[in-house]
Amino acid sequence: MNYSDSARIKSVLQNSWMIHTDKVEDANIVIFDTCSVRQKSEDKIWWILKEIPKDKKIWITWCMVWHNLKLKKLNNKDEKMKHVDKWNFLQAIKTKDPEVLWLERMDNVKIDETKEYVMINYCFDPLFHKMNMAFPNLELFFRIDDLWFLPKILLSLWYYVKPDIEVTNEYTWIASQWANMNFSETSKTAFIPIQTGCSQFCSYCIVPYARWTEKNRSVDEVLSEIQKLVNQWAEEITLLGQIVNKHTEFTKILKETLKIKGIKWLRYTSPYPTYYNDEILAMHESEEILCPHIHAPVQAGSDTVLKKMFRWYTSDQYKQFIDSIRNLKRPISITSDVIVWFSDETDEDFAKTLELVEYSKFDMIYMWIYSPRPWTYGANKYQDNVPTEIKKQRWWLLNTMLNKISLENNQSELGQIKTVMVMSIDGLKAIWYTENMKHISFKVNENTKVWNFEKVKVTKVIALKLEWEIVS
């Protein structure tokens, strides 16, 4: 999702006469597209900001900004705002020309409820204020949903910008309208959001508060964006959504996308186990373009923990889902997410997670350390009470099991010839992942180019990684 958002930011700014560079040393403005899923992600930004030279302006957007919005404070300051439901206010489609709201002088601000506002900087006080004290070159905090209004925001900051394209107020339309731009000069991989936000409200997760509730894009809008990107440069398409398969027309989107000529690989992420249907699984079996990989986040193997997490399936239901994937005639690699130590997780609970992982034979697990996130049910009601030593021990046990299973799974790939796409070349080695999402490295030859599809043969397997050689 961050790749997709960054492409949209770039799109808006380039159409406002700004020029993009990947190199910080060449930039006047450095933009951070932040993540809040874990506290660590938010903490990291402070360290990264220290490395930005003082003569560069800093802008920050996305999750870290959104959930720090202090509308409550704003309510206290203006009686007129009291009746305005916080989320409705934030989600209001800005049909009129909104005013840029800074709230720099909180005491003097007069909110006119007949007007619409784009909130920046001190509206996110105290976070903006705190960061601005440490980094005076921090110029702008803005919500990604207000991206469309960025040119207007910049005018308020005394930039001379002039959008070349007619204004719309829908964040997700930006890329589709401007898809004739090549967002990434070399990439052949396009990330297409088919929905934004999430209404699942898992008890540990900040996403519904950082991106608010689900909003599906129409099938036509999604297909038109894909078609334009494929016409221009894209060969690999990844459909995005917090629960991508919860989109009411997900099956139709998959079917119609598969009809678009020129796509070599089609992926989607992240699905939720219980929103699958037989038709989607059947497509994985019969449609070569639909990559043989399913990322199926499980989070825990204990029903008690799953219930506390508000994950609405049991470990048995999840195993049945794994069985239905394994029963397909085409081998599908399966990856997952696991929170290793949720509140009150006992040794018995954790043993059930290990048992489920062994049963599922995951090719990869993204294990993450639970940290209570603001706003969430978990942060309000549960204790982060698993001792650090136990957390470390459980992480080690899970990682050891993952390495063992991954090595066993990878053995079956030895000697196979497959197509891969080259992501980067470092000296004599190239790095990418396969159509079934396995990380690989292989020796390059003089014809190997970044973003080329290459035929390679697996020559060696290790845990979590394959080594290949190019087949001429």
Binding interface with ligand SF4 (CB under 6 A): 198, 200-202, 205, 207-208, 242-243, 272
**Smallest separation, CB 191 to ligand SF4 (Å):** 16
Tell me the DSSP string of 31-57.
Answer: EEEE--SSHHHHHHHHHHHHTS-TTSE
Cβ-based nearer residue to ligand SF4, 208 or 301? 208
**Smallest separation, CB 338 to ligand SF4 (Å):** 12
Looking at residue 392, the DSSP 8-state letter turns out to be H
Cβ-based nearer residue to ligand SF4, 207 or 222? 207
Integer CA distances (angstroms), 196 to 19, 94, 236, in order: 27, 17, 21
Cβ-based nearer residue to ligand SF4, 173 or 310? 310
Run of H or E residues at 13? helix 2-14
Cβ-based nearer residue to ligand SF4, 89 or 313? 313
**Smallest separation, CB 380 to ligand SF4 (Å):** 15
Q: Cα torsion for 432, 322, 311, 436, to the nearest 10°?
A: 10
Closest CA to 309 of 349, 267, 262, 343: 343
Two tokens, residue 243: 């629960």
Looking at residue 140, the DSSP 8-state letter turns out to be E
Quote the CA–CA distance of 442 and 144 in Å, as a whole number.
38
Residue 422, classified by CB atoms within 10 Å of its CB into exposed (0-12), middle (13-18) or buried (19+), is buried
**Smallest separation, CB 238 to ligand SF4 (Å):** 17
Cβ-based nearer residue to ligand SF4, 59 or 66? 66
**Smallest separation, CB 310 to ligand SF4 (Å):** 8
Go through the chain and tell me how many residues it has: 472
**Smallest separation, CB 271 to ligand SF4 (Å):** 10
Cβ-based nearer residue to ligand SF4, 177 or 200? 200
Cβ-based nearer residue to ligand SF4, 149 or 250? 250
Answer whether 455's CB lies under 8 Å from 418's CB: yes
**Smallest separation, CB 472 to ligand SF4 (Å):** 44
**Smallest separation, CB 217 to ligand SF4 (Å):** 17
Closest CA to 62 of 244, 216, 210: 210
Answer whether 257's CB lies under 8 Å from 266's CB: yes
Tell me the DSSP string of 349-361.
Answer: HHHHHHHHHHHHT
Cβ-based nearer residue to ligand SF4, 111 or 202? 202
Cβ-based nearer residue to ligand SF4, 251 or 274? 274
Sign of CA dihedral 223, 228, 231, 233: negative
**Smallest separation, CB 368 to ligand SF4 (Å):** 11
Cβ-based nearer residue to ligand SF4, 15 or 195? 195
Cβ-based nearer residue to ligand SF4, 31 or 298? 298
Angle at 33 between CA 22 and CA 224, to 5 degrees: 85
What one-letter code names the amino acid at 224? S
Integer CA distances (angstroms), 191 to 188, 277, 301, 450, in order: 10, 23, 31, 18
Looking at residue 461, the DSSP 8-state letter turns out to be E
Angle at 216 between CA 176 and CA 168, to 5 degrees: 40
**Smallest separation, CB 242 to ligand SF4 (Å):** 4
**Smallest separation, CB 272 to ligand SF4 (Å):** 6
Closest CA to 184 of 30, 3, 24: 3
